[in-house]
Amino acid sequence: MPHQWPTIEYRDETMREGMQIESADISLDDKVRLLDALGETGLPRIVVGSFVSPRYTPQMARIEEVLESFTPNPNVTYTALLVNRRSYERAQRFVPPLTIEDDRPFLNAHLCDVFTRRNFNRSQEEEFASWPGIVESAQQRNVTEAEIRVAAAWGSNFVGEFSLDQRMDILERAHTVWHEAGIPVTSVGFLDPMAWCLPHHVEEQLLAVKERWPHIRRFYLHLHNARGMSLPSAYAAMRALTPNDTLVLDGTVGGIGGCPYCGTGRATGMMATEDFFHMLEGMGIETGVDVAKLIDCAWLLEEIIGRPTFGAVSKAGPRPTSPETWFDPNMPFVETLDQARHFKLGPDSYDGGIYPWREPISSPQRPDSMR
């Protein structure tokens, strides 16, 4: 029996997680070009950026101009990271095309007090202290469901690894607060800003939540890739969940991303959107996303940031599964990364490559190669 997978909900973070760690000098025009290209890929949810202080994040200083200039695709839900009341006020002007999602409020705390101080200028205790206000606002708005979250969930570059018990303690505390407020918890989130996730820990964690709170069917994972573990962890999460569950995942085109607070900068990365959707396609999961267009975005991104990105299929091309995309049996040696781009640029890419065979390659598996 083939495995039955959970429903996947994907949020592309290229414009937010990605751009926030790139040069603040990337032009408005380039950002708009990239956002417009992303909007044409079939990605259903795109995070356009964050409304934050330009003192800490100059990369987001012109987010208003980006939103004024881009061409929204009506089939895409565009969201932004909002961190406080000022954020909400700034974002409000752009609804629509922006969507402000506040129908499932969350209680969140970082297991690492150092990181939350560095990133948000507040302590873990201050995070806990903010919870009553969030609950009160939720009650006033009559929200019907809520989320519990733990951040820096698997570990911190400043204080080391965290345990399942530590994660469950935070979640338990948050769950109790929502429960006492009479608002059912339907979703759980794990944020991994410092890339400590490991696939077996992700699996163990999701199963622990399912056992403790069987009514939670929505699982949000924000995983970074500094140690190469985000794609294995995403797969492990898909493996651990069932068709009754929804798995919400974040990633970026090219696998770029990170924040300046975590200590690993651009080496932090995320799961590459194009590699993840290529995997889903190989698994027979319908997504409506065009991997070839995602690769176009990765190439555009490389042009904008001036260096190669971390993804794989943007370099080698997707698996050529249909006869029209099969490689030529008589293509010469393909050696360099430039030559490998033939999957998009055509045979000129490998023109002049070594051809060592004394006779042309001819195989009954490729009737078109038979002499």
Asked if 118 interacts with a second copy (CB under 8 A), we say yes
By the 8 A CB rule, do 148 and 189 touch?
yes
Under the binding rule (CB under 8 A), the answer on residue 319 touching a second copy is yes
φ, ψ of residue 133 to 5 degrees: the values are: -65, -40
Judged by CB under 8 A, the chain residues 274 through 313 that form the site for a second copy are: 275, 278-279, 282-283, 308, 310-313
Question: If binding is defined by CB under 8 A, does position 260 make contact with a second copy?
Answer: yes
The residue (of 44 and 263) whose beta carbon lies closer to a second copy is 263
Q: Whole-number minimum distance, CB 284 to a second copy, in Å?
A: 9
Residue 255 phi, psi (nearest 5): 70, 20
269 sits near a second copy (criterion: CB under 8 A):
yes
- The H or E element that residue 345 is part of is helix 342-345
Kindly provide the residue ranges of all beta strands, DSSP E only, lying in 16-113, ordered along the sequence. 45-51, 77-82, 106-110
* CA distance linking residue 256 with residue 270, whole number of Å: 6
Residues between 1 and 20 with contacts to a second copy, criterion CB under 8 A: 2-3
Q: Which is nearer to a second copy, 65 or 161 (CB)?
A: 161
168 counts as binding a second copy under rule CB under 8 A: no
User: Closest approach of Cβ 236 to a second copy, in Å?
Assistant: 7
Supply the minimum distance, in Å, between the C-beta of residue 344 and a second copy.
12
Task: Give the shortest CB-22-to-a second copy separation in angstroms.
Answer: 9
Applying the rule CB under 8 A, the residues between 173 and 232 that interact with a second copy are 195-196, 198-201, 204, 225-229, 231-232
With beta carbons less than 8 A apart as the criterion, state whether 48 and 14 touch.
no
Contact set for a second copy, span 26-65 (CB under 8 A): 55-56
Largest Cα span, the chain: 79
Least separation in angstroms between residue 227's CB and a second copy is 5
Nearer to a second copy, 14 or 264 (CB): 264
Stretch of 27-35, 61-69, 94-102, 354-362 lying at the interface with a second copy (CB under 8 A)? 354-362
Q: Where are the beta strands (DSSP E) in 52-123?
A: 77-82, 106-110
> How far apart (Å, rounded) are the C-alpha atoms in residues 82 and 272?
23
Tokens 């798995």 belong to residue: 247
Please give the structure tokens belonging to residue 169.
Answer: 């303690």
Q: Considering CB under 8 A, how many residues would be counted as binding a second copy?
A: 89
For a second copy, give the closer residue by CB, 92 or 362: 362
The C-alpha atoms of residue 198 and residue 203 are separated, in whole angstroms, by 9
Shortest reach from residue 19's CB to a second copy, in Å: 12
Q: How far is the CB of 204 from a second copy (least distance, A)?
A: 8
Q: What are φ and ψ of residue 240, in 5° steps?
A: -80, -25
CA–chain centroid gap for 112, Å, is 22
